[in-house]
């Protein structure tokens, strides 16, 4: 339902808006350009003898800025080991965005522990910038057949 209204701007006294119910004022959000949905998923693998697993998630297209809003991950790791995960942009020398991981279960096969991360974020990544997911564990033994799945969602916006 649209009601007639009158507005006055105290900084610009000559500006008035008088609209009848059958002719509402059109409004748009100029600070929020059209958003283009973005999602991606990568797989990281632990390898025996290595305590780091990482993979590039993507590179932001020219003329766009990526706004990541959500990151989710599921990780299997040799039982008893500890680790941490993060998103990094750019991959070398860039800002690190840590993820909060929580243990979900332990299984006799492997033996393996399962962890997940699921959290809202607000990460701005500039045009042409690559970003990656990484995990570091406190041991280098085992790892064959244990993996990490990382999913990100957000949106791309046009940049001038």
* Residue 8 region by backbone torsions, left for phi larger than 0, else alpha for psi between -120 and 50, else beta: beta
CATH number at residue 56: 2.60.120.220
User: Cα–Cα distance between 35 and 27 in angstroms, integer?
Assistant: 17
Chain position carrying tokens 């004022």: 25
Residue 139 lies in a domain: yes
Residue 11 lies in a domain: no
The pLDDT assigned to 86 comes to: 96
The pLDDT assigned to 48 comes to: 86
Reading the block at residue 11, the tokens are 């900084």
Number of domain units in the chain: 1
Residue 10 lies in a domain: no
Is the pLDDT at 65 greater than 80, yes or no?
Answer: yes
Residue 109 lies in a domain: yes
More confident of the two residues 29 and 102:
102
Residues in the chain: 160
128 half-sphere exposure, CB direction, 13 A CA radius: 3
Distances (CA, A) of 104 to 29, 78, 82, 140, 160: 42, 14, 13, 22, 44
The boundaries of the domain holding residue 65 are 33-158
User: Cα–Cα distance between 117 and 107 in angstroms, integer?
Assistant: 18
Residue 9 lies in a domain: no
Residue 49 lies in a domain: yes
Is residue 127 within 8 Å of 51, Cβ to Cβ? Answer: no
pLDDT in tens, 97-156: 999 999 999 988 878 899 999 999 999 999 999 999 999 999 998 877 668 999 999 999
Residue 13 lies in a domain: no
Residue 132 lies in a domain: yes
């Amino acid at each position: 339902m649209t009601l007639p209204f009158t507005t006055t701007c105290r900084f610009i006294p000559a500006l008035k808006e008088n609209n009848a119910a059958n002719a509402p004022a059109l409004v748009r959000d100029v600070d929020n350009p059209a958003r283009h949905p973005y999602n991606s998923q990568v797989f990281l693998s632990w390898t025996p003898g290595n305590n780091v697993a990482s993979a590039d998630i993507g590179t932001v297209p020219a003329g766009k800025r990526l706004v990541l809003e959500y990151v989710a991950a599921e990780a299997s790791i040799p039982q008893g080991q500890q680790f941490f995960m993060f998103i990094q942009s750019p991959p070398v020398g860039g800002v690190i965005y840590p993820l909060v991981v929580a243990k979900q279960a332990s299984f006799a096969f492997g033996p393996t522990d399962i962890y997940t991360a699921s959290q809202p974020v607000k990460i701005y990544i500039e045009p042409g910038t690559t970003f990656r997911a990484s995990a570091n564990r406190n041991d280098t033994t085992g790892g064959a057949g244990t993996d990490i799945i990382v999913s990100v969602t957000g949106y791309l916006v046009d940049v001038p």
